[in-house]
Every structure is written in C-alpha cells, then in structure tokens.
Amino acid sequence: MPAAPIPDDEAERLQTLRALNILDTRPEHFSHAVSAAAASIANTPIAAVTLVDADRQTFKGACGVGAQPIPRSSSFCAHTILAAEPLVVPDAEADARFADNPLVLGEPHLRFYAGFPLIVEGQPVGALCVLDDRIRELTATQVEALQRLADGTAVWLLRRDGALP
C-alpha cells in the first residue's frame, strides 16, 4: 500500500496544525456533533473529524468508529490533505492507493471514503470524512452540504479556545 506523498509545504502545514493547540487534547462535543451530522448527511455508518500529524492521524470526533490514532501511512485522510477539493473513493478495493490498506482488508472493511479537507489559514490540517463498508456515491447535494460542514469545522478549529487568534 503506497503511503500518501508528503506535501511540499509540510513544515508550514504542521506548524499551522500545532499552533491550533488541539493535538492530544480530549475529543470535544462539537467535533462529535459534526461527525454525527456528516454521517446523517451522507447516510453512512461512520464519520470523523481527523487531524493529520507528521506520523499519525488522530480523531477529534468520531461517529461509528473507535477514536484511536492510526499511522499516517494507513490514513485515507493523509491523501485528502494533498488537495483543496474533496477526495471521493467509491470503492477502495478497486483503488490502487487503498486496495491493500489494513482498514480495507480488516476491520472496519472500508469500501467507501469521502474526505473533505479542513483548511486553516491556507493549510489542510485534517479532514471531515464519511466512510462505509459498502460501495457508494454521494449526490451533489450531499457533497455541497459536507463541504459546508467541513468549512465550518475549519473555522471552529481556528476560533476555539487556545487556537490561533
């Protein structure tokens, strides 16, 4: 399984992420509520607000999945932060980037992934993602609603107590 490439501006991205003072903090009600709303919009059993650090992906909030950190090398969201637009993978088993991913081959047997970058001060620090164990697509209305939710979550990350001014 190929790990996601490291962005050219990784040092700046990590500086922005760390300045948010949110890594290694307890999950917060807002991020759990966002995850539940995203799962409802997409009609998926799993959704999460994730942060992509240098070597791991952490969960700030999650719905339908445990919130233990995972290695960045296994992270779908590490691929999402490479672009400003959403990453939609209708069938992970058919996508060379993910076909042999441990999250596809084992629990929770992911097939579908859609990730929306959380962009703070021009840097993608993580993703709002929705996941399923079956092949699926999102409608244009779902994509638009999830993008708005991701944009609002990025604002929350920036404005929450302890974050950047």
* Closest listed residue to residue 51, CA positions, set 13, 84, 89: 13
Which domains, and CATH codes, for the chain? 10-159 (3.30.450.40)
* Closest listed residue to residue 68, CA positions, set 27, 31, 39, 7: 27
pLDDT in tens, 73-108: 999 999 999 999 999 999 999 999 999 999 999 989
pLDDT in tens, 5-51: 998 899 999 999 999 999 988 888 899 999 999 999 999 999 999 99
Contact 104, 134 (CB under 8 A): no
